[in-house]
Structure 1
Amino acid sequence: MSSEISTHIWLPEPKLAFHPDRQSDQDIHPLRGLLRFGPHSSGLVPDPIRVATIAPAGESRHLYGFMKELNSVVKATERAEYLPEWPGFHSVFGLHMRGAGAGCHIELDTEFEAEFHASSTPHIVLADRLIRKIQALEAHRDKFDVLFIYIPQRWTPGYTGSHGEDFDLHDHLKAATAARRLPVQFVREDKALAYPHRASVMWRIGLALYAKAGGVPWKLAETDAETAYIGISYAVRPPDSGRSRFVTCCSQVFDAEGSGLEFVAYDAHEVEVQRENPFLSRTEMFRVMTRSVDLYRRRHAGRSPRRVMVHKTTEFKQDEIDGCMEALHLCEAVDLVQIVEDVGWRGIRIDLDKETKKGKPASFPVSRGTLIGLGSREALLWTHGDVRGISDRGAYFQGARSTPRPLRLVRHAGHGSWDEAALAILALTKMNWNNDALYDPLPVTIGYSKVLARVVKRMSGLGSAPYQFRFFM
């Protein structure tokens, strides 16, 4: 028996599109593309973006100063090979950002601080007070587009609950505001204000602000127009939540360009838990896939996708496979792919020495986009690694440390080579509009599902209408 593995192939870095019609407005670098061409939804987002604020008593000035900085030019002082200068919000996105009008800027009462620090449950006091202020802003919802909330470092005791308590301030507030269809940006003193490399902060917050206001910074340039991507995640509520349904299932639907950032969520009844991982019955999987395809049809004039790729981090049990196939029987092709992040595989790059004609370790790691088949049903895909065309030096390794490990892809349904499925996963690693990096290690179908799972399980009423992801960013 041979110990050799398959010959690897290399998938090129996916391009991003910055205009709906002009094919020339493309770049592999998201920030460089924005500076060259502007955002994909240019002219479609109302100008200006109006920002409401909530801050501690007497501290709104911190948010006003931060918004002023967003409108200023800031030199890049880190990641010199990748990060460009921040030229100001208007220069990047082609529209203005300013504070909202009267009634849209609220401060907490002066008694709050004493009550917060004296309480044995400061997280409850803080969350309750902030939600009350958010409710007060609802009366002025037509006057603002995005809400900034300033979180000073002295509120750290209120970020999480007591030991063993399933509470997270960020996720708790996101659940409350998402239910109100209200996009929120937290501005933390210890991160957004204290981080010394200001251009990085401006790019991250600027991108998030534009996307939360309904903008589309970029889309994928090279995709099959009749393919849909679906990511499935499961959220398990704590046993003492007092709710009869303990598992929430959410399914995200992305169109062929990766831009349909919407998802459906519901409480699942027929669930089997194995090794702390929930698996759906055939009926439950049929329900969630049917709703996902219905959402796709609403976005595409009633047309069903020709091909569907479904991603999740756990294996597809036979009942889940049968439920998917029943719901997607009108599709020509269905790929059910498990994406495993924690793997033991590593790879190093060997270059040919021109003098000795022998292999020697390269100065840079394995190229991003490297794909190695492990058999008919498994493959390794490096979504992290060396990228050409980003740096003037010719090679760019994001993070510049450690040996990148691949994702293990396991196909539970589908046929053909791995090329299309792997290229789609590689492209979807570039669709996180809440980050200024070149890519994420995981595709958004999986990365977003982790965010959704944390927040959705804290929402009391899920409803049947689809949610836009911008309310959960």
Structure 2
Amino acid sequence: MPFKKVLAFGILDGIHNAFNDLIDGEIQRVPITEQDIRYEDGAIVSLLRQALVRSIADKRGLGTDGSRVLWKKEKYTTEREGKDFFDVHHAARFSLRHIGEQMFVAIDPTLYFPAESKENEEAILNIRLRILGYQHNDKFNAALNDWRAVILKRGEPTIFDYPAGSAAFQFIIKSAPAFASIRQPRRNAVKLANSFGRLIHHRGIEIPEQPLRFADKAQSVVKDTLPIRGLANNGPFDLNLSSQADEGPINIAVICPGAEAPLLEQFLVDGSRFHNPQRGTKEEYLVQYTGFENVYRTPIVFPSRGAPLWYMLPEIDSLLDECDGALDLSRKIRDGVSSLAATGRPIILIFTPDRWQRWRGFKNDDEMFDVHDFVKAYCVQRGIATQFLSQDTLGYQDKCRVWWWLSIAIYAKAMRTPWVLDGLDSDTAFVGLGYAINQHANKGKHIVLGCSHLYNAQGQGLQFRLSRIENPIISGGNPFLSFEDARRLGETIRTLFWESHLKLPGRVVIHKQTPFRSKEQQGLNEKTLYRNFRKYWWALLIIKGKLGAVYG
């Protein structure tokens, strides 16, 4: 099917050579309008970004993917992950944002790995976290200024041609950054020097951290804004409730192949030991881990090899291809889960070694299969709590960080409550939306909407409902709801709340990670749908760190 319109940046000869005799008609120059650059993920903005990135790479001698990322050609360092070594380069991710009447270049410092592939993406993710995880404000600002020095001329605009040296299309970037003036409510504003005033393009306010509620041994409520610090200094929110109910210890079960059993057994012993943050007092959000029972004031039982709650996972035949091996692995894990679940309701830790990497899933023309997702779906239907562990987790050097992360997951999956938000309306229902896309399913059945419901501010009454989106709208690779799909979602929310409480909520808060499009707002705010609400229907939009609200 022929394209009605082709958009391109370049010189006429270059465009003719690229398309040869495929162009029917004359090539016309057209101006770029405000509407064209309105959306960051739009076609015109994408073309502009690609042209700019390629121009900068050519003029400054940088590497590029031709789309978003630039990197320095000289190696920054070499990092080891497991048995493999990876070269690392300083890099930056670029985007264009139209704010007010101006277009801004946003630079996000990152890392580039020449050897990155699907096979080693987990190892590279660990390296990224290891390097960038500690890149707080001072280091991030230094990296940002370094990229400004590489790309821009000091004190004057910098011009980049596209194509290089042609002057056919020019990007002019000013060296002055765009600052934001952020103030705290109920505090006097800080007066800035005049030299900074002309650089302020945005204004905002700082929203205080929401306090969390914990409990102490005196059966009183204690508040803290940091989850880990609140647990370490006090105890979980349900500390006194758990003691009164005499729920007993948290039992852990294990599914693990025999060859890695000693490694996992030693790792579990560390769960009852003290671990200090790797960066000591420099760590901003991490405090000392003092062992599971000391933190949560609840006994926990880790099994040892040979115990009834330690299931030895049979080996996979090394001759099996990725398809048959993945199916065999999923069956063997399922058998282990069934065996352990028969002993009670333990939390099952499932360990799959790196040597089984190729059997963790497969994708072909007919099917896409993931062992992790299959096991999770199998266990959720039977009310069985599971936690997958990778070999990278066991070998991670910062044991304090690992055990805080894992212990919180274990405690929550044991149906306990480590903390709750403070000061929220008890008559509010909270809804979280997520999407999964199956590229192999038929249209109309390939996008699944996950809808989780928390029916009060204490996090109680959780329900999770999966449903297909019948008429999805795809934009920027993300699915959005049509008016009818949004209306059906609203009806589901109302029905589930009524079934749980025999009343309608006074307020509903919806969270999702993409913007609420107009059709979604209209469907959710349909007057006939919520005519029985005692208050307005509120949808809280949390979109890439931005906060806003719509009501109807």
Asked if residue 8 in structure 1 is aligned to residue 8 in structure 2, the reply is no
Asked if residue 80 in structure 1 is aligned to residue 248 in structure 2, the reply is no
Task: Give the distance between the partners of 1:88 and 1:138, measured in 2 at CA.
Answer: 26
Checking the alignment, whether the CA contact within 8 Å between 1:227 and 1:256 is kept in structure 2 is yes
Q: Residues 335, 2 of structure 1: CA spacing in aligned structure 2 closer, same or farther, 3 A cutoff? A: same
Question: What does 1:101-180 correspond to in 2, within 5 Å?
Answer: 103-109=308-314, 112-113=315-316, 115-116=317-318, 118-121=320-323, 122-140=325-343, 142=344, 144-162=345-363, 166-180=368-382
Cα deviation per residue 1:294-339 (whole Å; 9 max; x = unaligned)?
444555x434322222233143343662344343331412223444
Task: Give the distance between the partners of 2:207 and 2:521, measured in 1 at CA.
Answer: 30
1:414 aligns with 551
Q: Residues 34, 297 of structure 1: CA spacing in aligned structure 2 closer, same or farther, 3 A cutoff? A: farther
**Structure richer in strand, relative to its length:** 2
Cα deviation per residue 1:71-97 (whole Å; 9 max; x = unaligned)?
112222136233111111110111111
Q: Residues 261, 154 of structure 1: CA spacing in aligned structure 2 closer, same or farther, 3 A cutoff? A: farther
Give the aligned CA root-mean-square deviation in angstroms: 3.2
Cα deviation per residue 1:234-273 (whole Å; 9 max; x = unaligned)?
323233x479833322222234526247343243363233
Checking the alignment, whether the CA contact within 8 Å between 2:542 and 2:548 is kept in structure 1 is yes
Asked if residue 98 in structure 1 is aligned to residue 301 in structure 2, the reply is yes
Task: Give the distance between the partners of 2:372 and 2:421, measured in 1 at CA.
Answer: 30
Q: Which runs of 5+ in 1 are unaligned?
A: 342-406, 416-473
1:327 aligns with 529
1:40 aligns with 237
Task: Give the distance between the partners of 2:221 and 2:298, measured in 1 at CA.
Answer: 23
Q: 1:287: Cα distance to partner?
A: 3.4
Asked if residue 247 in structure 1 is aligned to residue 447 in structure 2, the reply is yes
Q: 1:132: Cα distance to partner?
A: 2.6
Task: Give the distance between the partners of 2:377 and 2:525, measured in 1 at CA.
Answer: 29
Q: 1:155: Cα distance to partner?
A: 1.5
2:167 aligns with none
Q: 1:2: Cα distance to partner?
A: 8.8
1:267 aligns with 467
Determine which of 225, 231, 238 is the counterpart of 1:28: 225
The 3-state SS of whatever aligns with 2:255 is strand
The 3-state SS of whatever aligns with 1:161 is strand
Task: Give the distance between the partners of 1:205 and 1:33, measured in 2 at CA.
Answer: 17
Structure 1, 87-96 or 226-235: larger mean CA deviation = 226-235
Question: What does 1:212-231 correspond to in 2, within 5 Å?
Answer: 212-231=413-432
Q: 1:135: Cα distance to partner?
A: 2.8
Task: Give the distance between the partners of 2:493 and 2:446, measured in 1 at CA.
Answer: 21
Q: Residues 269, 95 of structure 1: CA spacing in aligned structure 2 closer, same or farther, 3 A cutoff? A: closer
The 3-state SS of whatever aligns with 1:25 is strand
Checking the alignment, whether the CA contact within 8 Å between 1:75 and 1:86 is kept in structure 2 is yes
Task: Give the distance between the partners of 2:371 and 2:226, measured in 1 at CA.
Answer: 34
The 3-state SS of whatever aligns with 1:67 is helix
Asked if residue 309 in structure 1 is aligned to residue 509 in structure 2, the reply is yes
Task: Give the distance between the partners of 1:43 and 1:146, measured in 2 at CA.
Answer: 22
Q: Bigger relative contact order, structure 1 or 2, given CA contacts below 8 A and separation 6+?
A: 1
Q: Residues 207, 7 of structure 1: CA spacing in aligned structure 2 closer, same or farther, 3 A cutoff? A: same
The AA in structure 1 aligned to 2:342 is A
Task: Give the distance between the partners of 1:89 and 1:95, measured in 2 at CA.
Answer: 8
Structure 1, 99-108 or 126-135: larger mean CA deviation = 99-108
Q: Residues 116, 307 of structure 1: CA spacing in aligned structure 2 closer, same or farther, 3 A cutoff? A: same
TM value normalised by structure 1? 0.63
Cα deviation per residue 1:407-430 (whole Å; 9 max; x = unaligned)?
24464x328xxxxxxxxxxxxxxx
1:293 aligns with 494
Q: Residues 243, 23 of structure 1: CA spacing in aligned structure 2 closer, same or farther, 3 A cutoff? A: farther
Q: Residues 315, 335 of structure 1: CA spacing in aligned structure 2 closer, same or farther, 3 A cutoff? A: same
TM value normalised by structure 2? 0.55
Task: Give the distance between the partners of 2:336 and 2:426, measured in 1 at CA.
Answer: 44
Task: Give the distance between the partners of 1:118 and 1:237, measured in 2 at CA.
Answer: 26
Identical-pair percentage: 24
Checking the alignment, whether the CA contact within 8 Å between 1:55 and 1:151 is kept in structure 2 is yes
Cα deviation per residue 1:355-410 (whole Å; 9 max; x = unaligned)?
xxxxxxxxxxxxxxxxxxxxxxxxxxxxxxxxxxxxxxxxxxxxxxxxxxxx2446
The 3-state SS of whatever aligns with 2:494 is helix
Q: Residues 75, 117 of structure 1: CA spacing in aligned structure 2 closer, same or farther, 3 A cutoff? A: farther
Task: Give the distance between the partners of 1:209 and 1:251, measured in 2 at CA.
Answer: 23
Q: 1:16: Cα distance to partner?
A: 0.5
Checking the alignment, whether the CA contact within 8 Å between 1:264 and 1:291 is kept in structure 2 is no
Length, aligned pairs only: 341
1:182 aligns with 384
Checking the alignment, whether the CA contact within 8 Å between 1:308 and 1:331 is kept in structure 2 is no
Task: Give the distance between the partners of 1:148 and 1:175, measured in 2 at CA.
Answer: 15
Asked if residue 66 in structure 1 is aligned to residue 267 in structure 2, the reply is yes
The 3-state SS of whatever aligns with 2:239 is coil
Checking the alignment, whether the CA contact within 8 Å between 2:489 and 2:524 is kept in structure 1 is no
Cα deviation per residue 1:86-131 (whole Å; 9 max; x = unaligned)?
111110111111136964321123xx24x14543433333223222
The 3-state SS of whatever aligns with 1:18 is strand
Cα deviation per residue 1:117-161 (whole Å; 9 max; x = unaligned)?
543433333223222322333332x2x420011222212222342
Q: 1:204: Cα distance to partner?
A: 0.7
Q: 1:282: Cα distance to partner?
A: 4.5
Task: Give the distance between the partners of 1:68 and 1:269, measured in 2 at CA.
Answer: 46
Task: Give the distance between the partners of 2:204 and 2:480, measured in 1 at CA.
Answer: 33
